[in-house]
Each structure stands twice: as structure tokens, then as C-alpha cells.
Amino acid sequence: MFFLDCAMLDANGSLTEKNPTVVFVLGGPGSGKGTQCANIVDNFQYTHLSAGDLLRAEIKSGSENGTMIQNMIKEGKIVPSEVTIKLLQKAMKESGNDKFLIDGFPRNEENRAAFEKVTGIEPAFVLFFDCPEEEMERRLLSRNQGREDDNIETIRKRFKVFLESSLPVINYYDAKGKVRKINAARSVEEVFETVKGIFGPKNEKVNHYVRLMSRLYMYKFHFVSKTKFGNHCLPC
């Protein structure tokens, strides 16, 4: 017999999702993760959040917080994890969705630990676009986006930063069985075929079931501690 706490029921008596589904999307510069995030949004109704884009938007807004962020960047300081996380939380709340792709974050172990501590959310999994440096370098040098940092010296520095900072995050979640590694050296279409296998209906239903049953199990003991029998005890 399972017991459902009334806090899990909405006004109509239906079960509600309390925790959002978060997928961290990581990959080196030029790995194609941005393109694949757009495909996932179009096909699986996720909301795509880029930590970098949120920081730039906050700066552009001219807010007090944006000015602080801009000054820190100008001084060569690292924006505190809590600042970025608050922007992510705000964007998540305003989206009205409960499924999120968080792109390019966490960038390091400190980001990762802070995100879990502040939000209380652990990602469903990490989508890691694995691509050889030679291929990423070729893509970055050949694309025509007018980016000042698309020169060979800067590109190689970005590769180094990714390896030193982000790989420990990937290794941490890999040890927990939460990394979905994708060969990103293939064409956009081939890569997305693999992505679809991860986000497809079968896996989505399994992930939803596991999340739901975990919450039922947690609330079971919370409710039993309050009463053994009563109107709120619902037999499974």
C-alpha cells in the first residue's frame, strides 16, 4: 500500500510534478551542442537555457545586478556561481515549463556543487557531446559568425579550459551513471538520431515513472508518521 501526502495533490486531486527535469548539456566549443539543443526543443518540448546568454542579457538590461556582473567581467573576476544560478532559477520559473536543457553549465566542480546545494536539484542526466579537438577546431575556423574569439590561439585556449574545468564534472556524473555520451564528430542528422534515442518516448516514460515512484516512496513515510488511518490514506 502506498500513501500520498495531500501536498502532492492539486485542487482537482491530481498528482502534480514538484521537481523539474534538468539536463546539463556539455561539450567543447564547436561540438555542436547548440544546434542539437535547438532540435531537442523543437521535438521534445524542453526549454533551452544558456548560462552565458542569461548573463549577457542581464548585463544588457542595465540592472544593478547586470552592472555588477559587467564590472566583475571587466576586472577579470569570475562571476559567483550563486549569481548565475539565480538567473537560471528565474528563467526556469518564468518559462512555465518543467523540462530544461541547461547549456554550458556547470563549467566546473564548484558550479556543480553550488547548483545542487542552492536548487536542491540533481540533473536527470548529462548530455555530453564528445568531439575530437581537430574537428571542433575545423568547425570553429570555418563558420562565419563574425566572432572575435574564432582564431586558432583563442580556440585552443578554450579547449584547454574545457578539459581542465568541465571534464571533472562529466567524470563526477559518469561515476553515478548519469552521463549520456554522444559521438559528435558526425553530421548534424546522424548526431540527432542518437539524441532522439535518448529523449524518445520510451526513455521519457521510464524517467517519469522513476521520478514519480521516488516521490511516492518519500511521501509514504512522511504521511505514515502523521496518521495510520484516515481520509488521506489512498490504497494503491
Mean of the pLDDT values across residues 179-197?
96
Quick one: how far is CA 97 from the chain centroid?
13
Mean pLDDT to the nearest integer, 109-137: 95
pLDDT at 79: 85
Between these two residues, 110 and 17, which has the higher pLDDT value? 110
Q: Which residues contact 102 (CB under 8 A, 6 or more apart)?
A: 22, 23, 24, 25, 49, 51, 88, 123
Predicted structure pTM score: 0.73
Binding-site entries: 30-35, 56, 77-79, 104-107, 111, 143, 147, 158, 186
How confident is the model over 182-205, as a mean pLDDT? Answer: 87
* Better-scored residue on pLDDT, 158 or 128: 128
Tell me the pLDDT band of 143, cut-offs 50, 70 and 90. confident
Inform me whether the pLDDT recorded for 84 exceeds 60.
Answer: yes
Binding residues for a ribonucleoside 5'-phosphate: 56, 77-79, 104-107, 147, 158
Q: What pLDDT score does 145 carry? A: 57
Q: Which residues are annotated as a binding site for ATP?
A: 30-35, 143, 186
Residue 12 has pLDDT above 60, yes or no: no
Kindly report the average pLDDT of the chain as a whole number: 80
Q: Lowest mean pLDDT: which of 66-70, 176-180, 182-186, 229-233?
A: 229-233
Rg of the chain on CA atoms, in Å = 21
Closest C-alpha to 2, from 193, 205, 212: 212
Max CA separation in the chain (angstroms): 69
